């Protein structure tokens, strides 16, 4: 791997061209899907990090814009942690979007959390769609038995007990950072994540760094830009992440990355003549939604089986 601008662009372009884990074998120089996936994530993350170091910070509410048939689709990744700071920040910016005639869509659950009194904000059906897809796998939803699961709270973990334990460990490590320093804190967090995370977690970036960045951004929305950058350098292009996750946890794939495609389909389906559309989604969904909107920019058409839920 060449650590310069030209080399990074070549690396990223080559990985983007891969439609499957098998496609990565020759590119990465390994013979197993497992090794190809892990090596590709390392090279992708390193190249993206160097690119991001030269990019300026976003003003206002950060996001990515994809123009499809003359319409600007702005995708804004947030923590949706329900904090007063993020609520005030988002309501202020979304009010401005609506005042100038823009269309605003939210990941299911976010509207109820932040914009229940904003008549101009629409809620997508991504979560309801995912639950329907899950039910078709084995006749029941993987989240039926999780206490507190509903569209309003939008608890997305299919392993809530393990997730709560992981959060407790990460919180304990973070609380000691003033004693042993931020550098050691991150190293300790990485070690803990190595013990707590499974193969499926690799595809949803459920690690210590995402935990810390999300916590910080939830109370200081000025750091949303940093959180968004993290996910954009951590996730490989969607076909690769989705193939990996389907092999290890197909239900988790449906309630995570598959919803990215659903949200992109939803806004393209509903858009008629709007020139400016904003999507407020969880930060981990932003790279995937952007990916599928870019496919529409390149000529993708709505799936013929698309229906509303």
Q: What is the pLDDT of residues 82-96, one digit of tens each?
A: 999 999 999 999 999
Return left, alpha or beta for 154; rule: phi > 0 is left, psi -120 to 50 is alpha, else beta.
left
pTM for the whole structure: 0.82
59-65, Cβ contacts within 8 angstroms, sequence gap of 24 or more: 60/93, 61/89, 61/90, 61/93, 61/221, 61/224, 62/224, 62/225, 62/228, 63/228, 63/278, 63/286, 64/228, 64/286, 64/290
pLDDT at residue 136 in the model = 83
User: In this predicted structure, which of 51-60, 175-184, 256-265, 273-282 has the lowest mean pLDDT?
Assistant: 175-184
Strand partners, 1: none
Query: pLDDT tens digits, residue range 236-283?
Result: 999 999 999 999 888 889 989 999 999 999 999 999 889 999 999 999
What's residue 199's pLDDT?
56
Angle (CA) 278-234-64 rounded to 5° is 20
Dist CA 234 CA 228 (whole Å): 10
More confident residue, 148 or 56: 56
What's the pLDDT score for residue 242? Answer: 95
Question: Could you give the percent of the chain with pLDDT greater than 90?
Answer: 60
What is the structure's pLDDT at 172?
38
Burial class (CB in 10 A: 0-12, 13-18, 19+), 86: buried
Whole-number average pLDDT of the chain: 82
Q: Which residue from 229, 238, 241, 234 is spatially nearest to 203, judged by alpha carbons?
A: 241
Mean pLDDT (whole number) for 2-19? 83
Instruction: Kindly write down the DSSP assignment for every residue of 26-60, as one continuous string.
Output: HHHT-SSHHHHHHHHHHHHHHHHHHHHTTSPPPPS
pLDDT score at 120: 94
- Give the residue, 199 or 134, on which the prediction is more confident: 134
For residue 146, the 8-state DSSP code is: S
Let me know: does 194 contact 206? Beta carbons within 8 Å: no
Task: State the alpha helices, DSSP H only, in the chain.
Answer: 5-17, 24-28, 33-52, 84-99, 110-114, 126-138, 160-175, 177-180, 182-196, 199-202, 208-219, 224-234, 238-248, 250-255, 257-270, 286-297
Residue 243 sits at the vertex; the CA angle it makes with 242 and 246, to the nearest 5 degrees, is: 80
- The predicted pLDDT at position 5 comes to 61
Q: Residue 279: beta bridge partners?
A: 75, 105
């Amino acid at each position: 791997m060449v650590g310069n601008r030209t080399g990074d662009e070549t690396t990223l372009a080559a990985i983007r061209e891969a439609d499957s884990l098998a496609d990565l074998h020759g590119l990465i120089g390994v013979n197993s899907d497992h090794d190809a996936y892990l090596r590709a994530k390392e090279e992708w993350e390193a190249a993206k990090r160097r690119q991001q170091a030269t990019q300026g910070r976003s003003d206002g509410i950060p996001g990515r814009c994809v123009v499809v048939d003359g319409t600007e689709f702005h995708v804004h990744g947030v923590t949706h942690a329900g904090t007063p700071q993020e609520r005030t920040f988002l309501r202020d910016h979304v009010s401005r979007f609506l005042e100038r005639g823009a269309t605003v869509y939210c990941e299911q659950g976010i509207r109820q959390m932040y914009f229940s009194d904003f008549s101009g904000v629409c809620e997508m059906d991504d979560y309801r769609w995912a639950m329907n897809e899950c039910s078709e796998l084995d006749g029941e939803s993987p989240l039926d038995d999780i206490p507190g699961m509903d569209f309003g709270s939008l608890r997305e973990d299919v392993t809530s007990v393990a997730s709560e334990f992981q959060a407790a460990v990460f919180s304990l490590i973070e609380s000691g950072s003033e004693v042993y320093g931020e550098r050691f804190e991150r190293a300790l967090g990485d070690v803990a994540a190595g013990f707590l995370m499974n193969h499926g977690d690799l595809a949803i970036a459920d690690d210590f760094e995402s935990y810390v960045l999300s916590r910080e951004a939830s109370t200081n929305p000025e750091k949303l830009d940093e959180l968004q950058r993290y996910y954009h350098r951590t996730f490989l292009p969607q076909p690769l992440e989705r193939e990996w996750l389907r092999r290890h946890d197909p239900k988790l794939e449906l309630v995570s990355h598959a919803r990215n495609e659903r949200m992109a389909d939803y806004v393209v389906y509903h858009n008629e003549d709007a020139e400016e559309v904003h999507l407020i989604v969880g930060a981990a969904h932003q790279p995937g939604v952007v990916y599928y909107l870019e496919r529409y920019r390149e000529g993708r058409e709505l799936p013929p089986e698309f229906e509303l839920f």
